[in-house]
Chains A and B, each alone.
Chain A
Amino acid sequence: MDVTYARDDVVTFTKSIYSLIIFLVLWEAVAQMGLVYYYYLPPLSDVLARFVELTLSGEIPYHSYLTLRRALVGLVIGTVFGILVGILIARNAVAEWFFDPIIKIGYPIPIIALVPVFMLWFGIGDQSKIIMVAIGTFWPIAVNARNSAQRIDKNYIRSARMMGTSDRRLLWRVVFPAASPGIVTGLQIALPLSLIITFVFEMVAGGGGLGALEIEGVRTFDPTQVYATIIAIMLIGIALDRALRLLRNHYLRWV
């Protein structure tokens, strides 16, 4: 059973990357034949060579670290507050009255538009970026936590109460676990968002990080650095998404 399973996996994987391979081959061919300016699109092989070079020189690892740190610290802060506020709205009428309108207004705001405002208020350093990621990721987490906490089966709460769970402990014993699938759904939205916000902020404000590295490629007329940086951020995005899925499959296997 395991063997066929693994084979099936390989088959599906190969199938799913057919189109990608065709795309990459086309890229190389088009660029090698000089159909586009080198500055627009250098050949894939040049980009890969530059990617390896920047990785070995330590530049990509260093800037990845800066980007990841900003994104993840901000994400953790946004997640903690998002869970707290989301659950509070669902469980407390006063909190609902106060926070629900804020969430309704805040959620759809394209947070990226506020980068210049953040630069005015908090400067261009790490702090400013982290605060923006925290605020940007707060909304999807809060909305999803609220929705799932509002939908908890009444009889779960009743069961817990009859078995002796106090009102205060109810939050940890029932509300949080029951809402956790919704919270993780929010996290799956918030995670790529945290990378996007960090990346864009770095492009605009500098201070290192992959966004800044990419823009530097433009300023120094080095298109291979631009594309190599894009590869790095893509790999990071895919790896984090995979990691979150693994965690989900493990901790939410009861869903």
Chain B
Amino acid sequence: MSDGDISISNLEKVYDDGAEKTKAIEDLSFDIDSGEFVGVVGPSGCGKSSLLYLIAGFLETTDGTISVDGEPIDGPGTDRGVVFQDYALFPWRTVMENVTYGLEEQGVSKEERRSTAQRYIDMMDLGGFEDRYPKELSGGMKQRVAIARTLAYDPKILLMDEPFGALDQPLRESLQDQLLDIWRDLEKTVVFITHDVEEAVYLSERVMIMTRRPGTKKTVVPFDLDRSLDREEIITSDKFVTTKNSVWKSLREETQPEVQP
């Protein structure tokens, strides 16, 4: 049984707010294997979040299909967990209550909920803040609660929208490595949006570069490396530097202003 693979074909998304139509995504086809870690980079406003929300089932596709495990998706499901760019924590729930929410919905017993949640709270270095409300947290802390909340209910597919964007470098690196551990140990499929090229290459097995809006797949840069190496060895390796540069080059072509004919 395969589980956690995603198949996107001829995807198109047009936002229509009555007055104006915005084509966010155009003719995007892409297959992601079960257990794969895919990074997505692209210019701001190219449709990355839209793509993620479409996979999550929050938005209706305008055209094309998205299938998970061979089945066309029909709305959101607990097989897919999103880490929102704007966190979207429930402000009326404490950190602990936010992280246990998904487990409550699954009917997990109270003790088990708390111990599972505590594990992810500690992993995100949020120990001592269990009883705080989101309004009392910094942006970086909210972001970590959002990650813990999504990991806690154990979705097969993780859809992460710039999840480390608000964190400082040391914390960011530590969480990157923890995410890699989780991905490997729990065999999750990860779609990871970031605007940090180094982060994308470091984490991903493949990086998809999107064109400017209407966004579509521009190129896919594979990066297979020996994961037994440590961070220092990886980021100084020739292979890493070359891959990073080719992603950069491709991305820069999209962000530079179009040359008028």
User: A156 to B90, Cβ gap below 8 A?
Assistant: yes
User: B78 to A164, Cβ gap below 8 A?
Assistant: yes
B58 within 8 A of A: yes
Q: Identify the stretch in B35-43, B80-88, B190-198 within 8 Å (CB) of chain A at 4 or more residues.
A: B80-88
B70 within 8 A of A: no
Interface size class on chain A is 10 to 19
In the complex, A153 Cα to B78 Cα: how many Å? 20
User: B135 to A255, Cβ gap below 8 A?
Assistant: yes
A159 within 8 A of B: yes
Which of B76, B91, B106, B153 interacts with A161 by CB under 8 Å?
Answer: B76
User: B90 to A162, Cβ gap below 8 A?
Assistant: no
In the complex, A155 Cα to B134 Cα: how many Å? 15
User: A158 to B105, Cβ gap below 8 A?
Assistant: no
Given contacts A254-B92, A255-B91, is CB(A158)–CB(B86) below 8 Å?
Answer: no
- Complex interface: chain A residues within 8 A of B25 (CB): none
Given contacts A155-B86, A254-B133, is CB(A161)–CB(B75) below 8 Å?
Answer: yes
In the complex, A254 Cα to B102 Cα: how many Å? 20
Q: Can you list 30 A-B pairs with a CB-CB distance of less than 8 A?
A: A153-B88, A155-B86, A155-B88, A156-B90, A158-B56, A158-B76, A158-B84, A159-B82, A159-B84, A159-B88, A159-B101, A159-B149, A161-B58, A161-B75, A161-B76, A162-B57, A162-B58, A162-B80, A162-B81, A162-B155, A163-B81, A163-B101, A163-B149, A163-B153, A164-B78, A165-B105, A174-B90, A178-B91, A178-B92, A180-B92
- Top 3 closest pairs, chain A to chain B, by CB: A155-B88, A163-B102, A164-B105
Q: What is A's interface to B at a CB cutoff of 8 Å?
A: 153, 155-156, 158-165, 174, 177-178, 180, 253-255
Kindly list 17 other residue pairs between chains A and B, CB separation below 8 angstroms, not including A155-B86, A158-B53.
A155-B88, A158-B58, A158-B88, A159-B82, A159-B88, A159-B101, A161-B58, A161-B75, A162-B56, A162-B76, A163-B81, A164-B105, A164-B153, A165-B105, A178-B90, A254-B92, A254-B134
